[in-house]
Structure 1
Amino acid sequence: MCRSIRPLHNYDPPTTAEEVREASLQYVRKISGMTRPARANEEAFARAVEAVSAASARLLDELVTTAPPRNRAREIERARERSIARFGERGAA
């Protein structure tokens, strides 16, 4: 599950609010141990996702770097190449 959480800092084009929310959702799913909360836990789960999203967005806004932005498409291609090298063609999907 955590494998779907990707670095979000210093990309061109910049990271979107939706990407931050998706990473936050994955984080809350991982630490809570559930992919879908029971009705009794839905509000707490949603509040946690929003809190993590807000903290993550604030962190990304405040980080400073002198490195040039990474190209998102190139990073995806490099990850695909690593996957093929590690698992073969079937693991690259």
Structure 2
Amino acid sequence: MCRNIKTLFNFAPPVTPEEIHAASLQFVRKISGFAKPSKANEAAFNAAVDDVASVSARLLASLETNAPARTREEEAAKARLRNAQRFPEKVAP
């Protein structure tokens, strides 16, 4: 999975359409191999982003959970901790 695509389900406040669009854009970039499509591919690329965003919004609206909603701040703190453990600062000899 692309590291830039974030989990969007079960957050308080709920996910925004902008967050869904950003994740969809990252997904289409990843599978197409284009960071920015050429003019010839721009319409197909943008249509794919819109389709993925639409399906993603529908999926997120239909999911259910009994788990308490997460906060973005808590998730960001967890990510920082994981990164600190994964990439500890090098100590100079």
**TM-score, reference length from structure 1:** 0.91
Choose 1 or 2 for highest CA Rg: 2
Return the alpha-carbon distance in structure 1 between the equivalents of residues 83 and 23 of structure 2: 20
Larger strand fraction of residues: 1
2:43 aligns with 43
Alignment size in residue pairs: 90
After TM superposition, list the pairs within 5 Å mapping 1:1-93 onto structure 2: 2-89=2-89
Return the alpha-carbon distance in structure 1 between the equivalents of residues 22 and 71 of structure 2: 20
Structure 1 residue runs of 5 or longer lacking an equivalent are: none
Larger helix fraction of residues: 1
**4+ residue segments displaced more than 4 Å:** none
Structure 2 residue runs of 5 or longer lacking an equivalent are: none
Identity of aligned residues (%): 53
**Counterpart of 1:48 in structure 2: which amino acid?**
A
**Counterpart of 1:19 in structure 2: which amino acid?**
E
> How many angstroms does 1:88 deviate by?
2.4
**TM-score, reference length from structure 2:** 0.91
